Amino acid sequence: MTFSRHAFSSSDTAFDVQASALEDPRPHPTEEALVQFGRAVMTELLDVLGDTALEEVQAILAESLIGAFHSAAGRIERDGDRARDRMRSLERDFDGSELADSELQAATLATRASEVARMAAELIRDAAAELYTTATGEVWTAWRGSRRGTVLTAAQLEARQALKSIQARKTSDNDPGGPVVAFRAAPFANTEADAHRIFDALNWAKSEWPGMALATTGAKGAEKLAIQWARQKGVTLVLARADFERHAKAAPFRANDELMALEPVCCLTLAQSLNAERASGSHPFGPALNLGQQAQNSGVRHVPIRGKAG
């Protein structure tokens, strides 16, 4: 395994630089080593479970593993918040004494060390998630709360947090930061033909609004394809999850209300698979039709995704 050095080199990443700047006598793993570890852990799990009697629960275990690193990053961040609060308190009450100076330096170092540790956990998490997507085609999303992005992936925000930030503009962490493009599609519209046109539509949207955030519900199938695109493009992801426990059958439509509350500049919809065989015998996806109707009624640009002419 490779460790970061105090002497910076041209190959050092932002993580390596921050880790080395701590001047801890113990070496830090490099970003490359952490990424390799995340991929290796996920590879081992998939190899052990594949083609066995546990194959049916492989996705559950794989996503739980990624979620564990996500939870660890959250715990480290909360510890860091406490360290930052102490640092601010010491700065506010600083009296110039040697003791106060020593305490402030220790609190500052603890804050910086916590930030590096959080980044390390997120690098492992995102590397494992990327390998999981590459190996299975499935896309992991955080079960709850927001997830900041690393060099590998985009940030993920909860719709309700983003809404509060849009309304109050009090915190940039939960602000989508740019124009929102909403996307809803039928879960069965996940064939190769669908994927190509979904990616075409999303690439078009990004060319129209380069700083866009993608808002979707995170449902299976086509919307997972869109999430995968956001990860690859580094586009901020806003999830308006359907709350079936609270809203029952109305949950997908309540999720549309949250998407519209984000004030999107455009709504992309795909209510029916573009694959003739898949579309045969299936009804257009109601929630996608509903979002398109809401967009039209609100004067928001609506672009239904269709197959290529001819």
Q: How many independent structural domains does the chain possess?
A: 2
Residue 293 domain-assigned (yes or no): yes
Tell me what pLDDT residue 168 has: 52
**Same domain? 116 vs 225:** no
**Same domain? 298 vs 160:** yes
Q: How confident is the model at residue 148 (pLDDT cuts 50, 70, 90)?
A: low
**Same domain? 254 vs 291:** yes
Q: What is the dihedral of CA 108, 111, 116, 120, to 10 degrees?
A: 160
Q: How confident is the model at residue 194 (pLDDT cuts 50, 70, 90)?
A: very high
Q: How confident is the model at residue 288 (pLDDT cuts 50, 70, 90)?
A: very high
Task: Give the list of residues 6+ apart from residue 59 with CB closer than 8 angstroms, or none.
Answer: 136, 138
Distance CA 215, CA 237 (A): 6
Q: In what order do the strands lie in the sheet with 180-185?
A: 156-158, 236-239, 213-216, 180-185, 266-270, 301-304
- Domain boundary, last residue among 105, 136, 167: 136
Best CA proximity match to 160, nearest among 138, 149, 148, 176: 176
Quickly tell me which residue has 């999981």 as its tokens: 132
- Domain boundary, last residue among 136, 165, 191: 136
Q: Domain range for residue 282?
A: 156-304
| DSSP secondary structure code for residue 308 in this structure | P
Residue 21 domain-assigned (yes or no): yes
Residue 142 domain-assigned (yes or no): no
As a whole number, mean pLDDT of residues 155-183 equals 61
Residue 149 domain-assigned (yes or no): no
Task: Give the list of residues 6+ apart from residue 171 with CB closer than 8 angstroms, or none.
Answer: 165
Residue 248 domain-assigned (yes or no): yes
Strand extents, DSSP E, 186-309: 213-216, 236-239, 266-270, 301-304
**Same domain? 130 vs 160:** no
**Residue 47, exposed/middle/buried by CB under 10 A (0-12, 13-18, 19+)?**
exposed
Which pairs count as long-range contacts for 5-11, CB under 8 Å and 24+ apart, including other chains? Answer: none
As a whole number, mean pLDDT of residues 77-92 equals 82
**Same domain? 211 vs 97:** no
Q: Are 268 and 246 in contact (CB under 8 A)?
A: no
Tell me what pLDDT residue 6 has: 43
Q: How confident is the model at residue 34 (pLDDT cuts 50, 70, 90)?
A: very high
**Same domain? 103 vs 44:** yes
Distance CA 281, CA 216 (A): 26
**Same domain? 178 vs 100:** no
Task: Give the global pTM.
Answer: 0.54
- Domain boundary, last residue among 102, 136, 170: 136
**Same domain? 195 vs 66:** no
Q: What is the mean pLDDT of the chain?
A: 83
**Same domain? 124 vs 162:** no
**Same domain? 131 vs 165:** no
Residue 145 domain-assigned (yes or no): no
Q: How confident is the model at residue 160 (pLDDT cuts 50, 70, 90)?
A: low
Residue 144 domain-assigned (yes or no): no
- How does pLDDT run across 40-82, given as a tens digit for each residue? 999 999 999 988 999 889 989 999 999 899 989 888 888 888 8
**Same domain? 222 vs 281:** yes
Q: How confident is the model at residue 3 (pLDDT cuts 50, 70, 90)?
A: very low
**Same domain? 121 vs 161:** no
As a whole number, mean pLDDT of residues 275-300 equals 91
Q: In whole angstroms, how far apart are CA 194 and each of 22, 85, 213, 230, 289?
A: 48, 49, 21, 16, 17
Q: How confident is the model at residue 157 (pLDDT cuts 50, 70, 90)?
A: low
Residue 309 domain-assigned (yes or no): no
Residue 180's CATH number: 3.40.50
Q: In whole angstroms, how far apart are CA 62 and each of 54, 57, 70, 206?
A: 12, 9, 13, 31
